[in-house]
Amino acid sequence: MAVKQQEKEIVIALAGNPNSGKTTVFNELTGSHQHVGNWPGVTVERKEGVVRRDGRSIRVVDLPGIYSLSAYSQEEVIARDFLIDNQVDVIVNVVDAGNLERNLYLTTQLLELGIPMVVALNMVDMAERLGQKVDVERFADLLGVEVVPAQATKGDGVAEVLERAVSLARTGGPMAPRSARHNPEIESELAKLEGRIRLSPGSDLPLRWLLVKALEGDQSALARLEDCAPDGFEPTQAIEITRRHLEEIFGDDIEAVIADGRYGFIGGLLREVVTQAATVNRFSLTDNIDTILLNRALGIPIFLFLMWLTFKLTFDVGGLFVGLMDSGVTAFGAWVDSVLPDGPLGSLVVDGIIAGVGGVVIFLPNIAVMFTIISFLEDSGYMARAAFLMDRSMHMLGLHGKSFIPMLMGFGCNVPAIMATRTLETREDRILTILISPLMSCTARLPIYILFTGVFFPGHGAWVIFSLYALGVVLAVASGKLFRKAFFPKSVSPFVMELPPYRMPTFKGTVIHVWERTSLFLSKAGTVILAASVVIWALGSVPWGVEFGSGDSLVGQLGRVMEPIVEPLGMDWRAAVALFFGLAAKEIVVSTMGVLYGSGQGAEGGLHKALGLAFTPLTGCVFMIVSLIYVPCIATVAAIRRETNSWKWTLLSVGYSIALAYTVAFVVYRVGMLVGFR
Amino acid sequence: MAARPLSMVAAGEEAVVVEIRGGRGLQERLSSMGLAQGKRVRVIKSIGCGPMLVAIDNVRLAVGRGQSHHVMVEPCVG
């Protein structure tokens, strides 16, 4: 447990539907004081931030976006377990004012938990433009919780939400949250059950909520009831009897009756508090855009064009800055070289650190551009459209469109991609998606492509890189089919996904998003890549006196051992060493080459020339293909291990990718030779 | 009026949900996302064997072909 502070920390949980603007509220609340970690036991990202108000620290936890507190997806399980098991002082429920009815469905369930709550009525601007007026006071009265109008994209109302939440946490809440009243028949049965279960003193489990959920057939709610039921009371039996009784009365599924009741309550509430001046379709613009972007004939070509544009921009816009960074690194290397005395120290800094780390850091602009575009696609709402478009194609793999979102995110970085499989409902789908996601070429592999295309295919970089990404996708599809047949010959799981209205991503949100990812890259450069560069420099320098990085050095001897493995692919021992160390992180492939070939002269200088001599266009291609396919990095392997919770799948993923890389590279090399490429 | 599955509704048509079959999970899931009994649904897209795109008030949902067979609808009255 955390160290107790003088005054108890206030815990605020942010809950709401996906696309309700919850993340924007979170960003506004916590600003840069965010911390991204993992939820215990699972690799789902857990975002929290600590802010201080009047000398008290307030921990704001961003729960995953959910539609319900059922146990349908892992995100829902995480959110509800957090709310039930942790001492949450206040729930801030972010609600999209332009889509009240559906958003309040979750609200009615949150109310049943009996935790003090503030409803942040977000996007009121949008709602007003739609001609909708909300009587906030009446709304708060009927719900029995605080309601604060907000426009989080402008920062309006967020401070007040926090203020109300804090004062609610202090006073323990003057207003009792009012649960949605179910049908009278259900209410009387609930009252009977509540009378029969007395929770152990001190327990603050939300009994009413557990009973409703158990009636809806929720197994984990039932298990919790079993745990705390008094002797002589069998929850499973009692619930089953009640369930049958009620279904007889209504002649319908109890879940349908309860859902009906919730929407009935919401409908009544909205009739009292919302005045609709005119019916304006909020989706008129979105629907118009979708007739084009989701068009039967145009949809997929447009998607492919956008992907190509992504690589083009990554290459060209990023490239503008790469030249500058490269000259900077080269000049810096030359300056350090002139200042430091000749000898081991100078060699370590220039040949080891600057050649290695510098050789990777110059690609920061490309990586930043790529993440900016991916973040834009995600936040604008296009990602969900891509999933919709690809649903049919994904069915070939026995997956559905939703699996496509983690795959697309894999173009940024495989680790969050593997985390993003949390949105998939079945374990089979998750494992299958996890197995094929590493074939999505991440930004860490980009420096390798940019380096090699710069040497061998100047002027055609975007096309070559696009082809490599396409090859990754094709291999992912083929592998997916193979894995589905071999391991999960079952049917496809249900596909239901919301397509949010198109939105212009906020500047702040994009900056936070991109910063999170690029700072990860920078810290990798400062740690793993730096360490690897130093290790390789040391291996290249001993035994003392040999020519640095030559075949006689220790790294050379190591390389000679591995050379027979890569020789059939037309590569030398330096390539083998680079690929070997690249297992730790793909950027290290480039930094190792910088150390072994480049000797601190910057990419444009020595390294380019040396690569031009050591590789041919054909072996350059082969090298890029191997880099694309084999194990992405240690971090991805660790994520796969955590996420699948199985060594079997982890080892399969590692072994398969190495075997596949070798096979494809071998075939390409031999066929290339046969048809006369060099 | 006879109920028919949502999958049979053509693009541009509207209908009212009368029943969701296909197990507890699907029922709760669709309801919580806005596709619940008594709701008016407008089909925006329905192509061959691909997913359907439907509108319920201010919600747009992609519903897999398989799932759309389980949602029973009736024609709207008025």
CA separation for the pair A261, A568 (Å, rounded): 69
Look at residue A252 in the predicted model and tell me its pLDDT.
82
Chain B interface includes A492 (CB < 8 A): yes
Q: Is the pLDDT of residue B78 over 70?
A: no
From its phi and psi, is residue A544 left (phi > 0), alpha (psi between -120 and 50) or beta?
A: beta
Q: What is the pLDDT of residue A472?
A: 94
Torsion of CA A407, A408, A413, A414, to 10 degrees: 0
Task: Spell out the long-range contacts of A202-208 with Cβ–Cβ below 8 A and sequence spacing 24 or more.
Answer: A203/A228, A205/A84, A206/A84, A206/A112, A206/A113, A206/A114, A206/A115, A208/A112, A208/A114, A208/A179
Q: How far apart are CA A658 and CA A440, in angstroms?
A: 15
| C-alpha Rg value of chain A to the nearest Å | 29
> Which residue is closest to B46 within chain A, CA to CA?
A296
Task: Note whether A475 and A439 are within 8 A (CB).
Answer: yes
Decide if A255 and B64 are in contact by the 8 Å CB cutoff. Answer: no
For residue A392, the chain B residue with the least C-alpha distance is: B50
The most distant pair of C-alpha atoms in chain A lies apart, rounded to whole Å, by: 92
The CA distance from A125 to A501, in Å, is 15
pLDDT level of residue A661 (50, 70, 90 thresholds): very high
Percent pLDDT > 70 in chain A is: 92
Residue A657 has pLDDT above 70, yes or no: yes
State the smallest CA–CA distance between residue A489 and chain B in angstroms.
17
Number of Cβ pairs < 8 A linking chain A and chain B: 124
Q: Which residues of B touch A216 (CB under 8 A)?
A: 24, 28
CB contact under 8 A, A495 and B53: no
What is the CA angle A114-A119-A124, rounded to 5?
Answer: 165
Q: Is the Cβ of A641 closer than 8 Å to some Cβ of chain B?
A: no
Query: Which residues on A lie below 8 Å from B34 (Cβ)?
Result: 101-102, 105
Q: How far apart are CA A587 and CA A554, in angstroms?
A: 22
pLDDT, position A176: 55
> Which strand (E) or helix (H) includes residue A579?
helix A573-581
Q: Is A67 in CB contact (< 8 Å) with chain B?
A: yes
pLDDT over 90 percentage in chain A: 25
Binned at pLDDT 50, 70 and 90, residue A277 comes out as low
Q: How far apart are CA A101 and CA B40, in angstroms?
A: 13
For the cut 80, the answer to whether the pLDDT of residue A173 exceeds it is no
- Best A74, A499, A502, A503 member to test B by mutation, with max B CBs in 10 Å, is A499
The tokens for A148 are 């604060």
pLDDT at position A92: 95
**A10-20 average pLDDT score:** 92
Residue B1, pLDDT score: 61
Amino acid at residue number A342: D
What amino acid occupies position A589?
V
Cα end-to-end distance, chain B, whole Å: 14
Interface touch A387/B27, C-beta < 8 Å: no
CA angle B30, B34, B35 (to 5 degrees): 55
Nearest residue of A to residue B64 by CA position? A495
Q: Which residues of A touch B31 (CB under 8 A)?
A: 68, 105, 255-256, 259, 262-263
Query: What pLDDT, on a 0 to 100 scale, did the predictor assign at position A356?
Result: 78
**pLDDT of A5 above 50:** no
Question: What are A321's two structure tokens?
Answer: 């800055």
Q: Which chain A residues contact residue B30 at CB under 8 A?
A: 496
Handedness of CA A420, A423, A429, A430 (dihedral sign): positive
The per-residue pLDDT for range A21-54, each reduced to its tens digit, is: 898 899 888 876 666 555 554 445 678 888 888 7
- Check pLDDT > 60 for residue A490: yes
Q: Which residues of B touch A (CB under 8 A)?
A: 19-20, 24-39, 44-45, 47, 49-51, 53, 55-64, 66-67
Helices (H), A86-183: 100-111, 124-129, 136-143, 158-171
Distance from CA of B74 to the nearest CA of A (A): 17
Mean pLDDT of A645-661: 94
Q: How far apart are CA A165 and CA A172, in angstroms?
A: 10
* Total residue length of chain B: 78
Short-list A622, A638, A643, A656, CA closest to A436: A656
Contact A477, A440 (CB under 8 A): no
Q: Is A48 on the interface with B (CB under 8 A)?
A: no
Partner-chain contact A287 B51, CB within 8 Å: no
pLDDT at A38: 52
Neighbouring CB atoms inside 10 A of A346's CB total 16
| Dihedral angle computed from the Cα positions of residues A252, A255, A259 and A261, in that order, rounded to the nearest 10 degrees | 60
Outline where A274-298 has alpha helix (H): 284-293
Which of 353-412 (A) contact B at CB < 8 A? 384, 387-388, 391-392, 400-401
Q: What is the mean pLDDT of residues A77-92?
A: 88
Nearest-by-CA chain A residue for B33: A67
pLDDT band at A619 (very low <50, low <70, confident <90, very high): very high
Model confidence at B55, pLDDT cuts 50, 70, 90, reads very high
Which pLDDT belongs to residue A522? Answer: 83
Q: Is residue A545 within 8 angstroms of chain B, CB to CB?
A: no
Average pLDDT over residues A205-217: 86
Give counts: helices (H), strands (E), chain B. 2, 6
What residues of chain B lie within 8 A of the CB of A285, using their CB? none
pTM over the 0.90 mark: no
CA–CA separation, A655 vs A646, rounded Å?
14
Q: Two tokens at A306? A: 């956008």
Q: Is A494 on the interface with B (CB under 8 A)?
A: yes
pLDDT tens, position by position, A495-510: 889 998 898 888 888 8
Place of tokens 């539907």: A17
Percent of chain B with pLDDT over 90: 55
A277 C-beta neighbours (distance < 10 Å), count = 10
Mutating which of B33, B53, B65 best tests the A interface, going by the most A Cβ atoms within 10 A? B33
- The backbone torsions φ and ψ at residue A106, rounded to the nearest 5 degrees and listed phi first, read -70, -40
pLDDT single digits (tens) A120-162? 999 888 788 878 888 999 999 888 889 999 998 888 999 999 9
Nearest to B60 among A67, A283, A492 (CB): A283
**Distance between CA A617 and CA A570 in Å, rounded?**
11
A651 pLDDT above the threshold of 90? yes
Q: What is the pLDDT of residue A3?
A: 47
Closest Cα to residue A383, out of A318, A293, A510?
A293
Determine, for residues B58 and A495 on separate chains, whether the beta-carbon distance falls below 8 Å.
no
B53·A290 Cβ contact <8 A: yes
pLDDT at B16 (0 to 100): 95
> Cβ–Cβ of A494/B29 closer than 8 Å?
yes
Q: Which residues of B touch A384 (CB under 8 A)?
A: 62
Looking at A207-253, list the stretches that DSSP marks H as alpha helix, in order from N- to C-terminal side: 207-215, 219-228, 235-250
Round the average pLDDT of chain A to a whole number and report it: 84
Query: Is residue A670 over pLDDT 90?
Result: yes
For residue A624, give both structure tokens: 């890029």
Contact A287 B44 (CB under 8 A): yes
Whether A460 contacts A621, CB under 8 Å: no
Banded model confidence at residue A419, pLDDT cuts 50, 70, 90: confident
**Rg of chain B (C-alpha set):** 11
Give A-chain residues touching B53 at CB under 8 angstroms: 290, 294, 388, 499
Helix axes A446-456, A299-339, angle to 10 degrees: 80
Q: Determine the pLDDT at residue A43.
A: 45
ipTM: 0.93
Lowest mean pLDDT across A25-39, A451-465, A510-524: A25-39
Higher-confidence residue of A367 and A569: namely A569
Span A416-436, average pLDDT = 85
Write the residue in B20, B60, B64 that is nearest to A400 by C-beta.
Answer: B64
Q: How far is A222 from chain B (nearest CA, A)?
A: 15
- As a whole number of angstroms, the distance between CA A46 and CA B53 comes to 31
In angstroms, the separation between the Cα of residue A262 and the nearest Cα of chain B is: 10
Please state, in angstroms and rounded to a whole number, the distance separating the CA atoms of residues A70 and A532: 47
Section B68-75 average pLDDT: 92
Residue A188: exposure state from Cβ atoms within 10 A (0-12, 13-18, ≥19): exposed
Put simply, the answer to whether B58 touches A296 (Cβ < 8 Å) is no
CB spacing of A290 vs B51 below 8 angstroms: no
User: Which range among A122-131, A446-455, A481-490 has the greatest average pLDDT?
Assistant: A446-455
Q: How far away is chain A from the Cα of B45, in angstroms, using its nearest Cα?
A: 9
How confident is the model at residue A1, as a pLDDT?
A: 41
Q: Is A384 in Cβ contact with B61 (below 8 Å)?
A: no
Q: What is the mean pLDDT of residues A331-356?
A: 82
Q: Do A259 and B31 touch (CB under 8 A)?
A: yes
Q: Which helix (H) or strand (E) holds A325?
A: helix A299-339
- Given a cut of 50, whether residue A601 has pLDDT beyond it is no
Q: Is the pLDDT of residue A4 over 50?
A: no
CB contact under 8 A, A102 and B58: yes
Q: Tell whether A216 lies on the interface with B, counting CB pairs under 8 A.
A: yes
- The residue type found at A508 is K
Averaged pLDDT for residues A259-284 = 82
Dihedral, CA of residue A573, residue A578, residue A580 and residue A584, to nearest 10: 170
Terminal Cα-to-Cα distance of chain A (whole angstroms): 62
The encoded tokens of residue A162 equal 């926090």
Distance CA A344, CA A540 (A): 12
Q: What pLDDT shows up at residue A398?
A: 80
Contact by Cβ (8 Å): A166, A11: no
Which chain B residue has its CA at the smallest distance from A107's CA? B32
Any B CB within 8 A of A289 CB = no
pLDDT over 60 (residue A271): yes
Residues of A in contact with B21 (CB under 8 A): none
